[in-house]
């Protein structure tokens, strides 16, 4: 089965070594610097209202639409179009450090995350499994190592993580897109004027 056909039939695909280890290390260093300077908490205030029901803020730090994240969003676009066989529009990126003890409740994503990708930038300890329901409703466990990416239909595929007893920190990047020929095109840039800018909570008002 070809790599793109797997996604079309199963609504997800695992892509090993999707980005280089050097780029992963850059991302980890960026996240550590932002965290250590207290800058991630500034971004947290803008996004936690939509996240509090699936993850506990004190066990995670996050950055929405950062320069690094949104650059990664654009860089990965051609590869993700290849695997999905779709013309895609970027919406937003999200960077996160999960701490030990964190968990992610079962959920599906909002329309701006029609096509989602979760990338492992690195972890301090063991890999923390990512779970999803396949098209038959079976639980699938996916382990991502540095540079690996899980690509999935965010609105359709139920996904979650159990309690993190695996690593002290998991450094993760998320990039999100919508189908350019679909019904969610107004989600372009997640309602922002351009990539690399802050979240607009009242974007449709």
Q: Is residue 74 part of a domain?
A: yes
Give residue 56's pLDDT: 58
202 in a structural domain: no
CB 108 within 8 A of CB 158: yes
Q: Is the pLDDT of residue 10 over 60?
A: yes
Looking at the DSSP bridge assignments, the partners of residue 14 are 150
Q: Residue 125: name the closest of 160, 161, 100, 96 by CA.
A: 100
User: Considering the entire predicted model, what is its pTM?
Assistant: 0.90
> Is 85 within the bounds of a domain?
yes
Q: What per-residue confidence (pLDDT) applies to 115? A: 98
Residue 46 lies in a domain: yes
pLDDT at 28: 97
The domain that holds 97 is classified in CATH as: 2.60.120.620
User: Which residue range is the domain that position 48 belongs to?
Assistant: 3-190
Residue 135 has pLDDT above 70, yes or no: yes
Percent over 90 (pLDDT), the chain: 73
- Edge-to-edge strands, sheet with 115-125: 12-15, 149-152, 115-125, 167-179, 88-99, 60-64
pLDDT at residue number 173: 97
Over range 112-132, report the average pLDDT: 96
| List of residues 6+ apart from 180 with CB closer than 8 A | 86, 87, 88, 89
Residue 199 within a domain:
no
pLDDT of residue 62: 86
Residue 50 domain flag: yes
Into how many domains does the chain fold? Answer: 1
C-alpha to C-alpha distances, 170 to 23, 66, 183, nearest whole angstrom: 16, 18, 34
Compare 199 and 169 and report the one with higher pLDDT. 169
Contacts of 85 (CB under 8 A, 6+ apart): 4, 7, 8
Is 195 within the bounds of a domain?
no
Average pLDDT over residues 97-109: 92
The stretch 38-64 carries a mean pLDDT of 63
pLDDT grade, residue 44 (50/70/90)? very low
Whether residue 198 is contained in a domain is answered as: no
Confidence check: pLDDT of 4 > 90: no
């Amino acid at each position: 089965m070809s790599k793109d056909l797997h996604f079309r039939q199963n609504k997800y695909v695992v892509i090993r070594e999707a980005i280089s280890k050097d780029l992963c290390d850059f991302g980890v260093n960026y996240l550590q610097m932002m965290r250590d300077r207290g800058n991630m908490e500034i971004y947290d205030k803008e996004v936690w209202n939509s996240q509090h029901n699936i993850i506990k803020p004190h066990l995670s730090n996050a950055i929405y639409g950062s320069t690094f994240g949104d650059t990664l969003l654009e860089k990965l676009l051609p590869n993700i179009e290849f695997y999905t066989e779709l013309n895609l529009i970027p919406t937003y990126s999200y960077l996160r450090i999960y701490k030990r003890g964190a968990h992610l409740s079962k959920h599906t994503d909002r329309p701006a995350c029609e096509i989602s990708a979760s990338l492992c930038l690195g972890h301090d300890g063991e890999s923390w499994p990512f779970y999803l329901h396949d098209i038959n409703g079976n639980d699938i466990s996916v382990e991502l190592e540095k540079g690996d990416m899980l690509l999935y239909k965010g609105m359709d595929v139920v996904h979650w993580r159990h309690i993190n007893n695996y690593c002290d920190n998991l450094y993760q990047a998320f990039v999100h897109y919508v189908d350019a020929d679909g019904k969610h095109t107004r989600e372009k840039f997640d309602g922002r004027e351009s990539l690399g800018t802050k979240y607009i909570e009242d974007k449709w008002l």
